[in-house]
Structure 1
Amino acid sequence: MHDQPFVSVVIPNYNYAKTLPRCLEALQHQTYKHFEVIVIDDGSTDESVEIAKQYPCRLIQTRNNGVSAARNLGAAEAKGEIVFFLDSDVALFEDALANTVTAFEEDPTLGSVCGIYAKEALFRDSLFEEYRTLQGYYWRKSSEGYVTAGFFSLGAVRKSVFMELGGFDRRLNNSEDIEFGHRLNEKYRLLLTSKVMGYHDDEDEFRKLARKMHERARQRVPFYFHRKKPTKGFETPLRGIGMLFVGLSTLLLPLALVEASMLWGFLACVLVFLLTDAGQYLFVRKERGLLFTLYFIAMHWAITAVVFWGFVRGFFNFATSRQFRMKYKYGE
């Protein structure tokens, strides 16, 4: 009789034929062996289904309903005491499942254990992807500990807790992690730990990430209004101040192009932005050198500007659209 907890690895997938083999291969090399793999293919139009059939997993095909619905379906089908949600563009370190189980066993108050992405990308597709990979690693690594925002691209939940909470909000496919994490924290604790890690194939184009981050920021406005609780994790007050100064700098930049005196105001805003997250840039300087750090700063300023205007758009939508307020009234 097996005395180790059984783990169900649930992988939602939509058109990730490029990364799915690496994801499934990494699971075959886990040091922890008492688990099953469930792939929920969410209506892929590429070769994902054929790829999944080549690996030891249970494949469930659905029409395209979004990641939240796919995860909920996988959890309902799971036989394990622990449900480990894993995106199909992530390849786990070989000790990830073992360390997850250990964390649950050591702390019975935990409802969830979430991991972080490695500082190396799964595929090095572009310089921009290297920016995003290092940035994501640093923010999560510097936020280790008990948090309120979940990261269920590689995060586990006790199945009993998941079913008690009713799963992810199907209306959300961009901010479902943070909403579920806050609901979970009302009764349980959520641990973010670098002992659970995986290589991630992040966005490799500015346009793709900008669209995603803008919409995520827009959706979070009603969350902050309705929940009335701060998010504990990488969204620190200092980083919030930095974002405000980035927003101001975007207003000053066009003025600086026609009025030289405005340039000093723009540069002052950028300086405040840098100081509010100085540790991040020192980390990048150590990892990749000065030239890449300058590129990193430029990209991070631009993405932060996109996020700022996403929040502005969200506040406008919240004030003018009852449909927006109700549609994104999280957890209700």
Structure 2
Amino acid sequence: MEQPLISIIIPTYHRLGALAELLEALYRQTFKNFQVIVLNDGGPSVAPVVALYPELQCTYIDLPDNKMHVHARNKGLELATGELIMLCDDDDLIVPDHIERMLLELADNDLVYADVEIVQYTTNLQGSSRKPISRQLFAYDDNPEGMRKFSTFMSSGCLYRRSIHDVIGSFDETIHHYWDWDFYLRVVEYFRVRRVPVASVLYAFSPVGGNMSNDLEDMRPYLDKLSIKHGLGWLPTKNFFLLLEEPDVKNREADSEIVWDGLGIVSRYSGNDKEICNIQNNTTSL
């Protein structure tokens, strides 16, 4: 039986070590018939990292300007040749049989997505490798009413039919932070969507960052735009983990199979970071 070709779209920006770990995770997949599209969103070249994995069928593009990750994903769609699409963030990981499992689940559906484990890491001084230090299951029922109040759709690792875009169009770049919620709501209106109750995606999360209050204020216009577009009514902007404690969200907690062994991934970039940095510096100076 002929295997379908899957196009895996990965926007990346300033995450060489994490990207290398994702490429390593893809190299370890039990299902092999996929192309990888890496879109460098206006950051320093990651071509030397991609070159560490010649076994992967990779298309690498340097976008001239940093127009953010949603724009990069749309560029990836233009380059995709597979009949199926998988989305991956550059700092997330998937377990070795993730693609194989998702492909089986897609047989009777048009889009499938997995539960995730939220993982916090420590990173070595060179930024070339990460060590997991905590994990938390993220698994929630996807009932229609609940998904209009708080989206628990995780786009990383989702697999879907490319033909979906013939109906709904590309990702909405104007909604920025909420592009994935918008994508889910548009897809579920016309297509069969299934949540797979297996936590086969590792979602990288760090509580350390900029001013959280300012971040939430910046997100407000995009959330309002999403709400108007889909008629969702008023929606709160709260810290991610505070939202998980809301009664409506707690009531949606679901069982899920844990499949990750808890170990970090050692990529080919780990230990080669100095050499790659020298290549980048030499390239920049030309």
TM, length-normalised to structure 2: 0.69
Code of the residue aligned with 2:101 in structure 1: it is N
Match of residue 198 from structure 1: 201
The one of the two structures with greater contact order (alpha-carbon pairs below 8 A, sep at least 6) is 2
Q: 1:67 to 1:130 in 2, by over 3 A?
A: same
Match of residue 221 from structure 1: 224
Match of residue 260 from structure 2: none
| Distance apart, 1:76 and its partner CA | 1.7
Match of residue 51 from structure 1: 49
166, 178, 181: which one aligns with 2:169: 166
Percent identity between matched residues is 20
Code of the residue aligned with 1:175 in structure 2: it is Y
Match of residue 101 from structure 1: 103
Structure 2 segments unaligned to the other structure (5+ residues): 124-131, 256-286
Aligned-partner Cα distance in 2 for 1:179–1:278: 22
**Counterparts of residues 7-156 of structure 1 (less than 5 Å):** 7-45=6-44, 48-55=46-53, 56=56, 57-63=58-64, 64-105=66-107, 107=108, 110-121=109-120, 123-124=121-122, 134=136, 137-138=137-138, 141-143=139-141, 149=151, 150-156=153-159
- In the alignment, is the contact (CA less than 8 A) between 1:11 and 1:38 conserved in 2? yes
Q: 1:33 to 1:190 in 2, by over 3 A?
A: same
Say which SS state the counterpart of residue 97 (structure 1) adopts: helix
Q: 1:118 to 1:211 in 2, by over 3 A?
A: farther
- In the alignment, is the contact (CA less than 8 A) between 1:53 and 1:59 conserved in 2? no
- In the alignment, is the contact (CA less than 8 A) between 2:175 and 2:226 conserved in 1? no
Q: 1:11 to 1:209 in 2, by over 3 A?
A: farther
Match of residue 301 from structure 1: none
Say which SS state the counterpart of residue 190 (structure 2) adopts: coil
Code of the residue aligned with 2:141 in structure 1: it is S
Q: 1:280 to 1:18 in 2, by over 3 A?
A: farther
| Distance apart, 1:227 and its partner CA | 1.7
- In the alignment, is the contact (CA less than 8 A) between 2:117 and 2:199 conserved in 1? no
Say which SS state the counterpart of residue 225 (structure 2) adopts: helix
Answer with 1 or 2: which has the greater Rg.
1
Aligned length, in residue pairs? 234
Match of residue 188 from structure 2: 185
Runs of 4+ residues deviating >3 angstroms: 144-150, 206-218, 273-281
Alignment deviations for residues 145-202 of structure 1 (CA, whole Å, 9 cap, x no partner): 7757443233222101123311101223211011111111221132232436222321
RMSD, aligned CA: 3.6
Structure 1 segments unaligned to the other structure (5+ residues): 247-272, 284-332
